[in-house]
């Protein structure tokens, strides 16, 4: 190319036109930028390692909590099924009353269930004889 023939002349002209101090500053600036880039890459790798370790710890903690919760749920389900399937004569109303909340203040229902509550308590205290 014709442009390649003259590129050497253009570069030579730039070198002659550029003062020595500017050339030195440009070289120092390029070196400083290389050092900063290397430091930033090093810090970036350190932060990634820290993040990876924290994520592994978080997953480990999460798995432990999940295993513990699953164990507690299995145990409570087992006791619930055992209580549910337990057959004692005259214990039907006790089982029903265990499932009901008889605290009027703790009731979050908007409906009035006081009559049903009183009937269930009455049935629990004096069961029906067949």
Three-state DSSP string of the chain = CHHHHHHHHHHHHHHHHCCHHHHHHHHHHHHHHHHHHHHHHHHHHHHHHHHHHHHHHHHHHHHHHHHHHHHHHHHHHHHHHHHHHCCCCCCHHHHHHHHCCCCCCCCCCCCCCHHHHHHHHHHHHCCCCC
Q: Which residues of the chain have pLDDT under 70?
A: 1-4, 6, 9, 12-16, 89-91, 101-113, 127, 130
Whether 9 is covered by a domain: the verdict is no
Chain segment 82-108, per-residue pLDDT in tens: 877 777 766 677 777 777 766 666 556
Whether 94 is covered by a domain: the verdict is yes
Indicate the number of domains in the chain.
1
Domain that holds residue 114: 89-130
pTM: 0.45
Whether 82 is covered by a domain: the verdict is no
């Amino acid at each position: 190319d014709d442009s390649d023939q003259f590129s050497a002349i253009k570069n030579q002209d730039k070198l002659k036109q550029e003062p020595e101090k500017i050339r030195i500053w440009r070289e120092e600036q390029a070196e400083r930028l290389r050092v900063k880039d290397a430091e930033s890459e090093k810090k970036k790798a350190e932060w990634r390692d820290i993040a990876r370790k924290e994520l592994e710890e978080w997953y480990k903690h999460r798995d432990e909590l999940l295993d513990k919760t699953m164990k507690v749920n299995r145990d409570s389900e087992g006791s619930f099924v055992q209580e549910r399937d337990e057959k004692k004569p005259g214990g039907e109303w006790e089982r029903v009353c265990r499932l009901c909340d008889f605290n009027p203040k703790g009731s979050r229902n908007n409906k009035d269930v006081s009559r049903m509550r009183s009937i269930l308590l009455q049935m629990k205290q004096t069961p029906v004889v067949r």
